[in-house]
């Protein structure tokens, strides 16, 4: 038994998909290509492991699996390899298949460019198109070359990951629209979107309905859809004008839990769960848990799926195979922080620098959201583009804050902070005696982010060591989608922040999400304190808080480790104990 190779259905599907792609480019007769594709699809949608079906001697009962394909599957299970595919890839470079999804580029063209010009990758093809080398080939011209280049550019645009700040609101609108379809019981996010990754490859949505026809129809006929990638009874996927892709699974309500668990992933988490299921004599698929005797356990909720494996329900944000299954087994999953735990906003801007709101408006907006305190933390002078405050302006602002506080009474507490600039030379924008006048000091890097590692690390360390600095704002300075964070020695930063008792911010703005989940987790494990702030520049920005909380949840963070969750007196005590 031990030398058998237990390929998953999805792996098998990918293998036959690859055979189909490469055969098509090679020029194989179309019915063979379609047969491979059909087998791939049918394997991917199977509700039992093909491996088990093979052991029962029933492979050819799988739709689309005839004798020739069954033999290939058997060869894979018994040898772990497939001679046919090895021969095929020796003949047709496998990288050619990457080009198939490019608009206006079919297998015949790909074969033509490969045979005539030796082009085997998309990058080579793009280069050749730019150099005008394609237009003279048979069936090509200047126009078709230009169209192809536009297709390559569109394809590259959409292969980029989408920031969650763009994907999330889009998914919410889509869900609202699908939920309105008669007969649909619920529609939920799945995939990386539900796990709260800061960028997503595509949107995965899952619906519960007894009949998928009506909802699939609405999904496919959305006016923003530019291409239908696949359409089927249980699964369809589409592409929108923006290059964004979405797929929708529809399952009957009594199987919704298993399906939602599967579609939420991550793939690695699911692998871990399937191993656990196998140990308990169960097999876990997208559709159900199945006992050895073939009886299915249907789960309409995720809780039932996890409970059947002897586990508490693991929060989606933890499902990354970072130790969560082991922790669940040992009963030591963290009680993760929630949006409702947040009591104060410690980083918000007003029209004293680059914010849109007045102090009064910001206070009202924060109060409306149930916050107990809001810190007015405008930029300091050297960030001139924001109209940052001078030391005198900060004193005037302090007067206005007092006045607004007097008007508001104790309905909300206003604190004066400052987002003090860490200058290129590592010094802070204000001398210590000025810093001492603020209730809370956040130091941030906004400029000269490309300094060499040692220099920029030293710059940030310098801020951390300043006794007046309480929080470091968006520590690495990264911005989605295009700006990478500074090249910091993060281990040194985390250690120093822990040692000096300086909190590190998880900036909740979806273009920042900085610290990220991995550093935040490491920092909290070291005993460090976090702040989760929206860095609001307008009223609506305050509603971005949940993105930051999601990152904290992905970092296994409990409320205790986050300044914003503390009762006001405790926060004030903490601040008072610092210079």
CB of 199 to Ca ion, least distance (A): 10
Q: How far is the CB of 450 from ligand DGT (least distance, A)?
A: 28
Q: Which stretch binds Zn ion (CB under 5 A): 273-281, 291-299, 308-316, 414-422?
A: 414-422
Q: Is 505 in the site for Ca ion (CB under 5 A)?
A: no
Query: By CB under 5 A, what part of segment 167-196 binds Ca ion?
Result: 191-192
| 300 or 350: CB nearest Zn ion | 350
227: β partners: 239
Of the residues 17, 98, 126, 202, which one makes contact with ligand DGT according to CB under 6 A? 202
421 binds Ca ion (CB under 5 A): no
> Tokens for 561?
């480790």
Q: Which span sits near ligand DGT by CB under 6 A: 115-123, 189-197, 370-378, 505-513?
A: 189-197
The residues that bridge with 421 in the sheet, in sequence order, are 444
Between the alpha carbon of residue 248 and those of residues 91, 259, 387, the distances in Å are 36, 12, 47
Site for Zn ion in 215-244 (CB under 5 A): none
Q: At its nearest, how many Å lie between Ca ion and the CB of residue 189?
A: 10
Closest CB 544 distance from Zn ion, rounded Å? 13
- CB-based contacts of 174, cutoff 8 Å, min separation 6: 203, 205, 222, 246
Closest CB 36 distance from ligand DGT, rounded Å: 19
Q: What residue number has its CB nearest to ligand DGT?
A: 265
Residues of this chain, 250-289, that bind Ca ion according to CB under 5 A: none
Residue 267 binds: one of ligand DGT, Zn ion, Ca ion, none (C-beta under 5 to 8 A by kind): ligand DGT
Q: Max CA-CA distance within the chain? A: 84
Least distance to Ca ion, CB of residue 525, Å:
28
Using CB under 5 A as the binding rule, whether residue 239 contacts Ca ion is answered as no
* Residue 98 within binding range of ligand DGT, rule CB under 6 A: no
- Asked if residue 204 binds Ca ion (CB under 5 A), the reply is yes
CB 105 within 8 A of CB 121: no
CA distance 369 to 344: 10
Residue for token digits 């910091």?
488
Judging by DSSP bridges, how do beta strands 235-240 and 245-251 pair with one another?
antiparallel
- Is residue 202 a contact residue for Ca ion (CB under 5 A)? yes
Contact of residue 270 among Zn ion, ligand DGT, Ca ion, none (CB under 5-8 Å per partner type) = ligand DGT
* Residue partners of 146: CB distance under 8 A and separation at least 6: none
- Note whether 234 binds ligand DGT by CB under 6 A: no
DSSP 222-237: -TTEEEEEEE-SSEEE
Residue 10 contacts which entry, Ca ion, ligand DGT, Zn ion, none (Cβ below 5-8 A, type-dependent):
ligand DGT
Instruction: Please say which residue, 110 or 342, places its beta carbon nearer to Zn ion.
Output: 342
Choosing from 107, 163, 165, 191, the residue that interacts with ligand DGT (CB under 6 A) is: 191
Residue 378 interacts with Zn ion (CB under 5 A): yes or no: no
| Bridge partner list, 414 | 374
Half-sphere exposure of 17 (CA within 13 A, CB side): 15
**Which of 156-164, 197-205, 516-524, 529-537 is the region at the interface with Zn ion (rule: CB under 5 A)?**
529-537
Q: Under 8 Å CB-to-CB from 127, ≥6 apart: which residues?
A: none
β-pair partners for 200 = 162
Q: Which does 457 bind (CB under 5 to 8 A by kind): ligand DGT, Zn ion, Ca ion, none?
A: none
Q: Is 535 in the site for Zn ion (CB under 5 A)?
A: yes
Judged by CB under 6 A, how many residues of this single chain contact ligand DGT?
A: 15
State both tokens at 345. 């906003």
Q: How far apart are CA 323 and CA 372, in angstroms?
A: 35
Q: Give the torsion sign (CA, 425, 430, 433, 435).
A: negative
- Binding residue for ligand DGT, selected from 64, 94, 103, 201, defined by CB under 6 A: 201
Nearest distance, CB of residue 533 and Zn ion, angstroms? 8
Q: CA dist 369 to 244, 452, 563, Å?
A: 32, 42, 18
Residue 211's CB is within 10 A of a number of other CB atoms, namely 13
Q: How many CA atoms lie within 13 A of 424 on its CB side?
A: 8
User: Considering only residues 8-37, where is the footprint of ligand DGT by CB under 6 A?
Assistant: 10
Residue 131 beta carbon to ligand DGT: minimum distance, rounded to whole angstroms: 33
Q: For residue 91, give Cα distances in angstroms to 19, 32, 84, 87, 88.
A: 12, 17, 11, 6, 5
Region binding ligand DGT by CB under 6 A among candidate stretches 205-213, 258-266, 377-385, 475-483: 258-266
Burial 20-45, CB ≥16 within 10 A → b, else e = bbbbbbeebeeeebebbbbbbbbbbb
State the residue for tokens 């985390």. Answer: 494
- Cα(469)–Cα(420) distance, rounded to whole angstroms? 9
**266 to 295, contacts with ligand DGT by CB under 6 A?**
266-267, 270
Enumerate residues 417-446 that contact Zn ion by CB under 5 A: 419
By CB under 6 A, tell whether 505 contacts ligand DGT.
no
Stretch that binds ligand DGT, among 208-216, 256-264, 348-356, 370-378 (CB under 6 A): 256-264
Give the number of other CB atoms < 10 A from CB of residue 402: 12
Q: Taking CB within 5 to 8 Å according to partner kind, which of ligand DGT, Zn ion, Ca ion, none is near residue 535?
A: Zn ion
Residues that bind ligand DGT (CB under 6 A): 10, 191-192, 197, 200-202, 204, 262-267, 270
Residues that bind Zn ion (CB under 5 A): 419, 535
Residues that bind Ca ion (CB under 5 A): 191-192, 201-202, 204
């Amino acid at each position: 038994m031990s030398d058998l190779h237990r390929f998953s259905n999805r792996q098998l599907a990918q293998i036959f998909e690859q055979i189909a792609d490469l055969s098509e480019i090679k020029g194989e007769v179309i019915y063979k290509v379609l047969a491979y594709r059909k087998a791939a699809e049918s394997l991917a949608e199977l509700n039992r492991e093909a491996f088990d079906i093979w052991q029962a001697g029933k492979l050819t009962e799988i739709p689309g699996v005839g004798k020739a394909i069954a033999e290939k599957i058997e060869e894979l299970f018994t040898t772990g390899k497939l001679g046919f595919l090895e021969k095929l890839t020796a003949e047709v470079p496998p990288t050619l298949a990457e080009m198939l999804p490019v608009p206006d580029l079919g297998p015949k063209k790909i074969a033509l460019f490969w045979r005539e010009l030796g082009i085997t990758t998309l990058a080579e093809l793009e280069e050749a198109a730019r150099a005008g080398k394609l237009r003279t080939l048979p069936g090509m011209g200047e126009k078709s070359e230009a169209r192809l280049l536009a297709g390559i550019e569109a394809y590259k645009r959409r292969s980029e990951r989408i920031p969650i700040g763009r994907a999330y609101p889009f998914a919410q609108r889509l869900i609202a629209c699908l939920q309105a379809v008669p007969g649909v019981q619920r529609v939920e996010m799945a995939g990386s979107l539900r796990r709260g990754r800061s960028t997503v490859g595509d949107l995965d949505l899952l619906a519960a309905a007894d009949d998928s026809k009506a909802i699939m129809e609405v999904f496919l006929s959305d006016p923003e859809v530019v291409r239908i990638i696949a359409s089927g009874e249980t699964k369809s996927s589409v592409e929108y004008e923006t290059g964004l892709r979405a797929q929708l699974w529809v399952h009957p309500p009594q199987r919704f839990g298993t399906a939602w668990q599967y579609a939420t992933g991550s793939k690695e988490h699911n692998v871990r769960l399937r191993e656990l299921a196998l140990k308990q004599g169960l097999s876990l698929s997208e559709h159900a848990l199945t006992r050895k005797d073939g009886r299915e356990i249907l789960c309409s909720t995720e809780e039932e799926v996890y409970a059947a494996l002897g586990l508490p329900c693991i929060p989606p944000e933890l499902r990354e195979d970072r130790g969560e299954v082991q922790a669940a087994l040992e009963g030591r999953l963290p009680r993760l922080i929630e949006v409702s735990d947040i009591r104060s906003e410690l980083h918000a801007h007003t029209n004293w620098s680059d914010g849109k709101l007045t102090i009064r408006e910001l206070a009202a907006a924060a109060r409306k959201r149930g916050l107990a305190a809001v810190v007015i933390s405008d930029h300091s002078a050297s960030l001139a583009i924001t109209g940052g405050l001078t030391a005198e302006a900060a004193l005037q602002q302090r007067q206005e804050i007092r006045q607004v506080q007097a008007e508001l009474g104790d309905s909300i507490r206003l604190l004066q902070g400052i987002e003090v600039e860490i200058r290129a030379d590592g010094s802070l924008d204000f001398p210590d005696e000025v810093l001492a006048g603020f209730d809370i000091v956040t130091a941030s890097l906004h400029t000269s982010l490309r300094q060499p590692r040692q220099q920029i690390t030293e710059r940030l360390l310098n801020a951390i060591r300043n006794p007046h600095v309480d929080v470091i704002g968006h520590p690495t300075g990264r911005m989605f989608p295009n700006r990478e964070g500074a090249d910091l020695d993060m281990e040194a930063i985390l250690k120093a922040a822990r040692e000096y008792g300086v909190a590190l911010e998880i900036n909740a703005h979806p273009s920042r999400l900085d610290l990220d989940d991995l550093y935040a987790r490491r920092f909290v494990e070291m005993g460090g304190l976090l702040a989760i702030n929206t860095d609001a520049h307008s009223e609506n920005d305050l509603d971005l808080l949940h993105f930051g909380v999601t990152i904290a949840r992905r970092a296994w963070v409990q409320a205790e480790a986050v300044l914003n969750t503390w009762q006001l007196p405790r926060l004030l005590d903490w601040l008072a104990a610092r210079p």
